[in-house]
Amino acid sequence: MNWQKIRTLILAFIAAFLLILITGIAVAQNESEIQIFKMGTDVIVPAGQVMTDAVSFGGDVTILDEGQVTQDAVAIGGDVILQPNARVGGDAVAIGGQIIKEPGAIVDGNEVVIFSDAQVFLDRFGLLGTLYLTNALFSLVSLIAVLALGVVLLMLLPGNIKRVAATIDQKPLKSGMWGLGGVVAITLFAALFGGSIFGFLSIPIANLAFVIAALLGAIATGLWVGHRIMPRRETAFMPFLLGMLILAIISLVPIVGGLVILMLVLFGFGAVLLSRVGTVQPEKIHQRLDRSTGSTQATGG
């Protein structure tokens, strides 16, 4: 294991996450399609400006006079505010906030308000406290869902899950690189083919495959963590349950816990790709990689 390379990969992932967290991201697929997403701050659509989607996590989405969002405007933990003659072509969604429309403002789609009383929690616990409570609830629900799915898959495909977990253990660097590469690939694929007929047909399938692979990676990650604590257990159920419990506890640590979970699941996702959904033993992976590149030299993890 090359710890220097793994540390560089982890630092790059954290830097990218913090950049998104602090500045938000705006993706322009072409000159007429601008999507903006920010965390912890407001999203403002300037007067007369046209954007495709506007999403704020922890802030308001404000569309100024005659500004337009052609698809959806979503505020999580904030309000969707439409000034005079502003327009939302799709849905306006406020989770934990309100939809405020001034005279002349138009929402062509649905106006969805969820947990509007959450403002009481925001006033009582503040934004960070409310986000922490929301994260704790989300972690609990996710734990139950992944536990149920994991138990089923460990009964149906025990060998595949164990091989993915073994790949994380024996090929951590390659797993991380494949996971990061897979995320970049699916993002570029959606950006390049979004709006085309090919993209309309293939992107949902690619997204479904991505979600399935990520879930398998999360299950294998839980098993891997459990085996680090209980290495001599021949059965996989107890290590898996213990591993998922440890991941759930880690996820409760503010900010850092979420980053750790994302990193571990990223490695699990990469191991799913690297092991071809658990059909290739870890010790045989370098042989397949060498044959695919025409090389006979073995490479380490």
- DSSP letter string, 40-87: SS-EEE-TT-EESEEEEESS-EEE-TT-EESS-EEEESS-EEE-TT-E
The pLDDT confidence band at residue 114, using thresholds 50, 70 and 90, is confident
Looking at per-residue pLDDT, the higher value among 143 and 224 belongs to 224
Average pLDDT over residues 139-144: 76
| 86 has pLDDT over 70 | yes
| 35 has pLDDT over 80 | no
| 31 has pLDDT over 90 | no
- Give the CB-side neighbour count of residue 283, counting CA atoms within 13 A: 0
Helix (H) or strand (E) holding 111: strand 111-114
Work out the number of other CB atoms within 10 angstroms of the CB of residue 44. Answer: 19
Q: What is the pTM of this model?
A: 0.57
pLDDT of residue 292: 47
- CA–CA separation, 237 and 224 (whole Å): 11
| 87 has pLDDT over 90 | yes
Q: Which residue has the tokens 């503010």?
A: 254
| 88 has pLDDT over 90 | yes
Helices and strands of the chain, counted as H and E runs: 8, 14
Non-local (6+) Cβ contacts of 244 within 8 A are 143, 146, 147, 150, 222, 226
Looking at per-residue pLDDT, the higher value among 278 and 135 belongs to 278
Buried b (16+ CB within 10 A) or exposed e, 121-160: bbeeeeeeebbbebbeeebeebbeebbeebbebbeebeeb
